[in-house]
Amino acid sequence: MDKNDMMDRIRELKKDRNAVILVHNYQIGEVQDAGDFIGDSLELSRKAARVKEDVIVFCGVHFMAETAAILAPGKTVLIPDSSAGCPMADMITAEDMVQWKKRYPGRKSVCYINTSAAVKAECDICCTSSNAEKVVDGLEGEEILFAPDKNLAAWVARTSSKKIIPWDGYCYVHNNIRAADVRRKKEEHPEAEVWVHPECPPEVIDLADRVLSTGKMVKEARVTDRSVIIGTESGIVYRLKKENPGKIFYPVKNTAVCRNMKKITLEKVFLSLEKMQFHVTVPPLIAERARGAITRMVDLV
Ligand code: 13P
Ligand code: SF4
């Protein structure tokens, strides 16, 4: 089957199954093209909570599909590749979280959306890269536990009045973006602005003109009149170019690629709909507690 036939089959199957395809900004171009809605993790969470269709095919990594399953109880949530996980989310377990909170009694805990449902169930509130600062500042207490991304924690700590106690996790894709990569690109394109994701290390953030979640990059790209060096997973450049013909976006490095996001292919989306695979479910007790942490965030922002 060629790509066009596969797109046609996906459209037919979507109708047969009463399904919607949600796609993260880092997915490959042809998966983005097959999507009904593309967004960052906060936008996708919000969308999942409102879908009318019976089936959600989630093109992203596992914790995102879990979040959709938690926010859309009663819907069938499928992920086209069951091994598409997030290594940063795997850097903290629910048991780690429980022990950590015991070491710091009385502190509120914030977990980045890039965590398993079981970890979210142990936290006071969730956050994403687009609202972390607001979430932290909205909490009671002077010291806040923040897991798992130490780089996002450091970014929030720059402006927050709170003392942030970070977990020692990181995203291998963003952590591998180095100051030297940014300097090299700036030398090649001195006219361009630099936008980076807050999962990047502090020395990269120091070189950036703007620090933005993927969703905010998409919005700002619509209004900017500058060319931009993009310091995040390079899949987003496809969307930025497609939505802004004539504008110029340079990935900061071509190797800023999330292998896990890239496990989802058009063929796997098709197979997911055809075979109704792979189901993502969250045990009810964990889902209920994790939903509390997620809805507290969604209500706040
Ligand atoms: P966003 O919240 O910007 O979508 O980022 C999610 C992510 O996995 C970043 O690596
Ligand atoms: Fe996880 Fe990093 Fe991939 Fe985002 S880019 S899904 S944080 S490994």
The rounded distance, in Å, linking the Cα atoms of 204 and 268 is 35
The CATH class, in words, for 89-170+286-298 is alpha beta
Tell me how far the alpha carbon of residue 187 lies from the centroid of ligand 1, in angstroms. 27
Fill in the DSSP letter of residue 104.
S
Confidence band for 41, pLDDT divided at 50, 70 and 90: confident
| CB of 78 closer than 8 Å to CB of 280 | yes
CATH 3.40.50.10800 corresponds to the domain 3-85+261-282 = yes
Q: What is the DSSP string of 232-244?
A: S-TTHHHHHHHHS
Is there an atom of ligand 2 within 6 Å of 272 CB? no
Tell me how far the alpha carbon of residue 15 lies from the centroid of ligand 2, in angstroms. 31
Closest residue CA from atom 5 of ligand 2: 258
Choose among 284, 272, 289, 281: nearest CA to 9.
Answer: 272
User: Tokens for 155?
Assistant: 């970014």
Confidence band for 46, pLDDT divided at 50, 70 and 90: confident
Fold held by 177-251? Rossmann fold (3.40.50)
Residue ranges per structural domain of the chain:
3-85+261-282, 89-170+286-298, 177-251
Is residue 267 over pLDDT 90? yes
Tell me how far the alpha carbon of residue 174 lies from the centroid of ligand 1, in angstroms. 10
Confidence band for 272, pLDDT divided at 50, 70 and 90: very high
Is residue 300 over pLDDT 80? no
Is residue 134 over pLDDT 90? yes
Confidence band for 299, pLDDT divided at 50, 70 and 90: confident
Closest residue CA from atom 8 of ligand 1: 114
Query: Given ligand 1 and candidates 149, 199, 200, which is best to mutate, with the most ligand atoms within 8 Å of its CB?
Result: 199
Is the fold of 3-85+261-282 the same as that of 89-170+286-298? yes
The rounded distance, in Å, linking the Cα atoms of 146 and 110 is 5
